[in-house]
Amino acid sequence: MPVTQEQLDEIALTRAEYDLIVDRLDREPNPVELGMFGALWSEHCAYKHSAPLLRLLPSRSPHVLSRQGAENAGAVDLGDGLVAVFKVESHNHPSAVEPLQGAATGVGGIVRDILAMGARPVALLNSLRFGPLDDPANRHLFQGVVGGISWYGNCIGVPDVAGEIYFDPCYSQNPLVNAMCVGLVEREKLATASAGAQGNVLLLVGSGTGRDGIHGASGLASRTFEEDQELRPTVQVGNPFLEKVLIEACLEALGTGWVRGIQDLGAAGLTSASIESAARAGRGVILDVSRIPRRERDMTSYEVMLSESQERMLLIVPPEGVPHVREVFEKWDVACTEIGFVTAEPEATVVDGAQTVASVPVTHLANPPRYRLKGSPSPDYQERQRLSLSDVTLEGLHPETVLLSLLASGNIASREPVFRRYDHQVQTNTVEGPGSDAAVLRLKGTDATRAMELWNGEEGEERGGPRNWAGNGGNGPKTGRWGRDTMEKAIALSIDGNGRYCYLDPYHGGQIAVAEVCRNLSCSGATPVALTDCLNFGDPGRPDVYYQLEWCVRGMAYACRALGVPVVSGNVSLYNESMGQAIFPTPIVGGLGIIEDVNKRVGSAFPSEGMVVALIGDYINRPRASDLAGSEYLQVIHGKLAGRPVIVAEYERRLQALCRRAIEERLVASAHDCSDGGLAIALAESCIRGGVGFSSSVNWPARWDAALFGERQSRIVVSLPQSAWPDLERLVAESGIPARRLGTTGGDRFRLGRLLDLSLAEVASAWHHGLEDTVRGGGQDLEEGL
Amino acid sequence: MRFGIVVFPGTWSDTDCHHAVNGVLGQEAGYIWHKETLLSGYDCIVLPGGFSYGDYLRPGAMAGLSPIMDAVKDFADSGGLVIGICNGFQILCESGLLPGALLRNKHLEYRCQWTNLRTERVDTPFTLACEPGQVLKVPVSHGEGNYYADAATLDHLESEGLVLFRYCEPSGEVTPRANPNGAARNIAGIVNAQGNVLGMMPHPERCCEEILGSVDGSLLFQSIVESVK
């Protein structure tokens, strides 16, 4: 019976793709087989439109242990026998339909990707985009997403250490929810997702299988949608408690030494987990759906194979190991079921008891068609880039009001009202948490010195313990204290992206996305080691969207090569549009860096009074229109989105090297990237976080808006003791990057020459309260309520 | 001395507590699986934080019925030291070892933030290394830490000196602003009448090293070590 267009639409396959399936099988597929093809050939699983572009990104370096796309996440060697595993993934479409569960299961899914590498999840990050919060629908999405991340992440005991949130009307109804997870594993324990030898048993562990999420990959994630209500059943429902238990049980099972392969059940559920594992080993599988524990009645084989029920993992174990692995799951009261085995013949066979319901060669399923589309810029593309300084009037503007407006604006104001809802400390590794340019996690067990007792019993005696700029202890106990002198290694983590820049210039925007995340890492003192990316774009079938995708990726690839960092994992989310409007092209880049000695790190806060504050990189003396391109200032104050952001990747590389060296040599006490809102905002943020004022005697140029609020790339604000200035000047001279003294910290004013003189309290209040009111959870205000 | 750290399904501060008492303070420590029924060879039992049983039903309600809890009660009845942190405090209240209950935070949000705690007594095994009234910088991380008890119980706690920690300003002043969750009378931690069972919402195990932003939590563990000597 020929397939109907309606059936094809349901699984998002084209007629031509169907014909290709018939051609490969030399017969019509039955409905179960067709469903399996639909899932595995979906954009979400197959990268049909993006794979040729993704190959442009460099993916190798001496640190990299994984091959991009070959495993569930990228793996990099940290030294000391430790490996970091990490990946970012989108859950945009489910979050648009049901924000709380969509975001929660986004976290759950990425955590299982890390678990599938045999690693313990140690950190979560996220990157979120919403429409403006004055619209109740966007507030609903925002509250749901933040609530979902908080609910799920807190329950599983993985700290949420960093993230970013931006608002723009283009994300109304199509929020972006990108979740990143980082795991740690000893090098020899890195797991694989391969099925291994013939006769190995497939064990399904974790949750029962229900009807939730059927067609999640092909339907929600792989096409646009306008009427979302009917898609609600395709959103999965999370159980973070089960996830936590699953993490512990799987890690313990891996510890038995009997697990040959491990794979999470994510998009396309059992179908993709089993077939991808088989394909990696060049083998086949037989699965018996009648054995699979269900949580709903009368499920068909089709539904069981395509369910995206959460908190499930597939373990591949030789028969003699099954009792050992089963014992672990019995201890944790987690279901563990033999559902099939690995075959020599590379055929994926699904049986329901005695009846065969599907039988397809694995290679047919695992080799989807790939498309190279042709892009072209949208007709108004050049118009968008046109901007001259004379278009931007300073008339009626005062630097003080501009500063306060920007500090309170949704894209700049303090994120504390959000991140205080996430546990960012559990596992006790977080030494720089959310709010810094990069989060820093110390690696326990890498310290060269032994734990030592620093017990000072005498009152008033000088305390022992390490001194560093960032961690200044508690309130000073009157009696002795215990401490420990450490020289632990640390990792730095950051996630970043700027859709406005990419919209205005995809090639430079893509470069900036990579440069900025590396700059954040460098500002903490870390050497960037590897990246992961999530490409959030519209419908690639539209030439202007494909043009954006292609040039963003080319820009990212260029910057990766210039900065010497590979992309080791990633995810693509296309069809992000609602009501016919594509979102800004939004590549999100997550980065991981290494700090050899955790004590040689800095935060973004000015640590004390009397510090010299300097800008390394360009001081904007002669403003250019590109300095204002896509800036927060232009958007918030002038309501304009225009211009052409630029970056010179080679200059960026030298700037970051200079910053890292200044931190390594302990010259600077803080470093903060100049990004959204420009130099004045960076200075204000460092003051607010440090609780210390700042005064500058610089003679600012007439175009003070560009100097203070322009977003020219490759600039970092540092603070240092006066005594370190000559040494910094020496490094600066060697690097060929300019540096300029801006002023001194101290007092309770925030003063920029003759332009601006505000009390630090007023500056801080604008920044602290910008998001506060809109994001309050609906409970009683404690200060007033008690 | 030897700490015993109980692990329920969903517990996540177990390894943090182990690191604090063993890795930092150099004391012996072992994990105790919740299905066990005997406790022997331990000087102090730790009920760590987390989401035991996913907080389903009520936080601590299911864990309070775990096999190990009978042994914990016996251990406490015979004078053994028990410290319940966060979810552990909730479990102690649910199992009747401490009075009162932990309600949802008044603002309805989960909160992970630093708090200041005023030490109300220094003659307990948990605080003997502290100064009277000493302010400790210790973080909280919970959605349901709003301590509640009826007025008579609260008055009893106060009159018997069973309130061990109160949320306060860095200066030590107890104010509504310093209260992160709406807890009655800013109560952050209480002890039983015998003084050998402590329940507290803040996480001392998260602040035992300079690098984590405070070492004040180690004063609690150090007190326990000193008191067992």
- Residue A36, CB-side half-sphere exposure with 13 Å CA sphere: 31
Residue B86 annotated as catalytic: yes
Chain B residue with CA closest to A424: the answer is: B112
Amino acid at A65: L
> Can you tell me whether residue A706 is helix, strand or coil?
helix
Residue A220 confidence class, pLDDT cut points 50, 70, 90:
low
Q: Is the pLDDT of residue A221 over 80?
A: no
Kindly report the pTM of this predicted structure.
0.93
Q: Which domains does chain B have, with CATH numbers?
A: 2-228 (3.40.50.880)
Amino acid at A653: R
Between chains, do B176 and A779 touch, taking CB under 8 Å as contact? Answer: no
Between chains, do B215 and A478 touch, taking CB under 8 Å as contact? Answer: no
How far is the C-alpha of B115 from the C-alpha of B178, rounded, in Å? 7
Between chains, do A465 and B210 touch, taking CB under 8 Å as contact? Answer: yes
Q: For chain B, where are the alpha helices, taking DSSP H only?
A: 14-18, 68-77, 87-94, 151-159, 217-228
Q: Is the pLDDT of residue A777 over 60?
A: no
Between chain A and chain B, the number of residue pairs with CB atoms below 8 A apart is 178
Task: Assess contact for A500 and A632: CB atoms under 8 A.
Answer: no
Handedness of CA B130, B134, B140, B144 (dihedral sign): positive
Mind listing the pLDDT tens digit for each residue in A706-757? Answer: 999 999 999 999 999 999 999 999 999 999 999 999 999 999 999 999 999 9
Mind listing the pLDDT tens digit for each residue in A344-397? Answer: 999 999 999 999 999 999 999 999 999 888 999 998 888 999 999 999 999 999
Mind listing the pLDDT tens digit for each residue in B39-90? Answer: 999 999 999 999 999 999 899 999 999 999 999 999 999 999 999 999 999 9
Mind listing the pLDDT tens digit for each residue in A166-208? Answer: 999 999 989 999 999 999 999 999 998 888 899 999 999 999 9
Give, in order, the Cα–Cα distances in Å from A204 to each of A249, A275, A612, A747, A756: 13, 14, 60, 62, 64
Mind listing the pLDDT tens digit for each residue in B118-156? Answer: 999 999 999 999 999 999 999 999 999 999 999 999 999
Task: Assess contact for A663 and A671: CB atoms under 8 A.
Answer: yes
- For B54, left (φ over 0), alpha (ψ -120 to 50), or beta? left
Share of chain A above pLDDT 90, in %: 78
CA distance B98 to chain A (A): 24
pLDDT at A397: 97
Q: Is the pLDDT of residue A213 over 90?
A: no
Chain A residues whose beta carbon lies within 8 Å of the beta carbon of residue B215: 465, 473-474, 477, 481-483
Residues written for chain B: 229
Give, in order, the Cα–Cα distances in Å from A568 to each of A256, A386, A511, A516, B224: 28, 36, 17, 18, 47
Residue in B15, B206, B210 closest to A471 by CB: B210
Residue whose C-alpha is closest to residue A106's, from A20, A7, A175 = A175
Share of chain A above pLDDT 70, in %: 90
Task: Assess contact for B32 and B80: CB atoms under 8 A.
Answer: no
Between chains, do A780 and B215 touch, taking CB under 8 Å as contact? Answer: no
ipTM computed for the complex: 0.97
Chain A residues whose beta carbon lies within 8 Å of the beta carbon of residue B113: 420
- Residue B91, CB-side half-sphere exposure with 13 Å CA sphere: 34
Mind listing the pLDDT tens digit for each residue in A63-77? Answer: 999 876 677 899 999
